[in-house]
Chain A
Amino acid sequence: MVVEMDLFVLYRWLLAIVCMVYAAVVTWRSLASWLGYFRESRRTAVLGRYTLVLLLRTRWRRFVGELAQIVALLAVLVLLLFAHRGVGG
Chain B
Amino acid sequence: MAEHPRQNTTRAVAVSELPDDGLVSYGRELGLSLDPKVGRGELLRRVRERQELLLELDREAMLDVAVWARVPVRKSANKEELARRIAGVRKMDFRGLSDRGLYVLARLRGVPVRSTDPRPLIEARLRDAEPVWDRLRRARRKAVGQVLGKVVGDIGDADEGSYRFLPESPAVGTLRDHIAEQGVVGGIAHRLRSVADDYVREKLDEIENRIDHKLDEIDARLAEWRDKEIANRLRILKITLVVSVIVALLSLGYNMMTHWAEPAAPEPPPAGQVEQGQEAAHAAPPCSLQGRLV
Contacts and interface: CB of A to CB of B under 8 A. Distances in A.
Interface of A: 6, 8, 12, 15, 49, 52, 54-59, 62-63, 66-67, 69-70, 73-74, 76-77, 80-81, 83-84, 87-89
A66 B231 contact: yes
A77 B234 contact: no
B189 interface: no
Given A70-B241, A77-B241, A88-B259, A58 B249 contact: no
Nearest to B254: A8
Interface residues of B, number: 29
B245 interface: yes
A74 B242 CA distance: 9
Contact of A88 (B148, B222, B237, B258): B258
A12 B251 contact: yes
Given A70-B237, A74-B241, A77-B248, A88 B226 contact: no
Which interface residue of A6, A15, A73 has the most chain B CB atoms within 10 A?
A: A73
A87 B255 contact: yes
Nearest to A72: B241
A57 B223 CA distance: 9
Nearest to B234: A66
Interface in B197-255: 222-223, 226-227, 230-231, 234-235, 237-238, 241-242, 244-245, 247-249, 251-252, 254-255
Nearest to B253: A87
A21 B144 CA distance: 31
B230 A76 contact: no
B242 A73 contact: yes
Contacts of B259: 87-88
A83 B250 CA distance: 12
Nearest to A8: B254
Nearest to A88: B259
Nearest to B219: A54
Contacts of B258: 6, 88
15 contacts: A12-B251, A52-B152, A54-B222, A56-B144, A56-B148, A57-B223, A58-B227, A66-B234, A66-B235, A66-B238, A70-B237, A70-B238, A74-B241, A83-B252, A88-B255
Interface in B250-278: 251-252, 254-256, 258-259, 262
A55 B238 contact: no
Nearest to B256: A87
Given A12-B251, A74-B241, A81-B248, A54 B223 contact: yes
Contact of B248 (A57, A58, A62, A80): A80
